[in-house]
Amino acid sequence: MTYKPVIGLEIHAELSTKTKMFCDSLNDPNEKHPNINVCPICMGHPGTLPVINKEAVRKVVVAGLALNCKIAENTFFERKNYFYPDLPKGYQISQYQKPLCYEGYLELITKKKIRITRIHLEEDAGRLYHLPDKDYSLVDYNRAGVPLMELVTEPDFENGQEVREFSQELQLIWKYLGVSDANMEKGQMRVEVNISLTNPDGSWGTKVEVKNINSVKFASDAVNYEIKRQIELLEAGERVKHETRGWDETKKVTFSQRSKEEAHDYRYFPEPDLPPIRIANGRASTTPVGGPPLFFIDDIRDQLFELPQQRRDRFKKQYNLPDNDIDLFTVNKSLGDYFEHVASELLSFDKLGHLKRPDAGHQDKLFKLASNYLITELRRMCEEVSAESADTKITPEMFADLVVRVFHGEISSSGAQIVLKEMFSTGKNPGEIIREKDLEQISSVDELSIAVKMAVADNPKVVEEIRGGNDAPIKFLIGMVMKNTKGKANPQVVEEMLKEILKS
């Protein structure tokens, strides 16, 4: 029997605003001291009144527009009532009936569309610390009242890989837009997966929810594990229980946390202390009916920056780099930005006519060279000292200068590595370093001719072998020339010269 997995996600992300959702306490995820960023409003003292953080609303609308959502023109907050020590007010201000964003989608690489049901805005709860050998728990309210968005998808996923790809892309989009830092280890982004298998008649089976997942990889592992577990249950003639399970990252298994047989009653009702939210179509220059709205949708749309997928497409078109390089420059945005600075320097070198022997496709070759040195050499050096490429002593102009010298054969690739290291630590120009260290490559046939002739004269046996039809030992002769020129000969030129001599 084949079972088709049906999987949907619920993703929470803390918004990176300066202050909390309904008060001016700081929203600082890095605050180490507990209960510092609190005030009577987020502590739920009687008689206090919440005020909507406009920036948080704007960020959710930005997230929604980037995910092809419709934006609710008229919406409001609601109270979700429940009793738990992490919730000082006894209710969470959330959205229920009318989320800010709805009916969006995100496309996977395979072009499959994952439908987004809704994105709504709410406030986060405090953080509880359960101490292993104590009969009490501690609570930190720094997080209570931090703006939180919840995104819910339709159950459109079929496996862990899709869940992983979607979550990673979402994370990247939110980082690009400055909506959320979306760091899963820090709990800024929390993924819950709902998994069921279809019944033999095609209808959906009982779903299991898996929580406490703190990396994208674990989300995909939990999905794959749960699919296997449920298939085994059904094959054994048992039924899948409707429950919430946790993910044990050491044992790589899900485990039962609580049964969900009875539904919670949160007694939702509209929040009486906050005004409704009105967002108007069009721009601020248009006159809306019914008084000034909080935002105009098109004003926000105008501020959307380039999204990761748009960047990938543009990099392909503009620089024709391999997909792996492009992906790295998309995920590591600052390295990609640095690459673009180098590329624009290379183009201006070219425009000024400073490139020798420009052939068809020479620009692509230059871009690829630059990309190689950035991804292998510069990235490694930066990682060693945990710096961003833009903060190093190597300016994009200097980097481009080096790339052109490699392209011109003025310096060998091993020489270029030495120059890069020196540029990185001293900030000197490549030209200066090449002169100082005497690294200039010899590419002139005239200058190399004696060394090449010597290598041929000194190794008659090898020469005989090559002339007899075995090309391999030519490497040995090149090596001899390199040795005699202290590594400065251009190996490609030497190879050409040797072939020419040995032909006759």
- Cβ closer to ligand ADP: 154 or 298? 154
Strands (E) located in 15-100: 70-71, 74-75, 78-81, 91-94
Burial (CB count within 10 angstroms: exposed 0-12, middle 13-18, buried 19+), residue 73: middle
Tally of helices (H runs) and strands (E runs) in the chain: 16, 17
Q: Which stretch binds ligand ADP (CB under 6 A): 5-13, 122-130, 176-184, 381-389?
A: 5-13
**Binder of ligand ADP out of 28, 154, 340, 495 (CB under 6 A):** 154
| Closer by beta carbon to ligand ADP, 114 or else 370 | 114
Stretch that binds ligand ADP, among 7-15, 136-144, 270-278, 439-447 (CB under 6 A): 7-15
Sheet holding 189-197, edge to edge: 70-71, 101-107, 113-123, 147-153, 5-14, 189-197, 208-211, 243-248, 253-259
Contacts of 61 (CB under 8 A, 6+ apart): 71, 100, 101, 279, 295, 297, 300
Q: Is 486 left (phi over 0), alpha (psi -120 to 50) or beta?
A: left
Candidate ranges 40-48, 148-156, 163-171, 296-304; the one touching ligand ADP (CB under 6 A):
148-156
Q: Of 82 and 476, which CB lies nearer to ligand ADP in the complex structure?
A: 82
Nearest to 437 by CA among 426, 453, 446: 426
Among 153, 230, 412, 490, binds ligand ADP (CB under 6 A): 153
Cβ nearer to ligand ADP, comparing 158 with 465: 158
User: Measured from the CB of residue 146, what is the shortest distance to ligand ADP in angstroms?
Assistant: 22
Say if residues 268 and 243 touch (Cβ distance below 8 Å): no
Q: Does residue 167 touch ligand ADP according to CB under 6 A?
A: no
Is 335 within 8 Å of 371 (Cβ atoms)?
no
Q: Which of 7, 419, 480, 482 binds ligand ADP (CB under 6 A)?
A: 7
39, 43, 152, 231: which one binds ligand ADP (CB under 6 A): 152
End-to-end CA distance of the chain: 72
Q: Which of residues 193-252 bind ligand ADP (CB under 6 A)?
A: 194-196, 204, 207
Residue 216 C-beta: closest distance to ligand ADP, Å: 16
Q: Using CB under 6 A, list all residues that contact ligand ADP.
A: 6-10, 152-155, 194-196, 204, 207
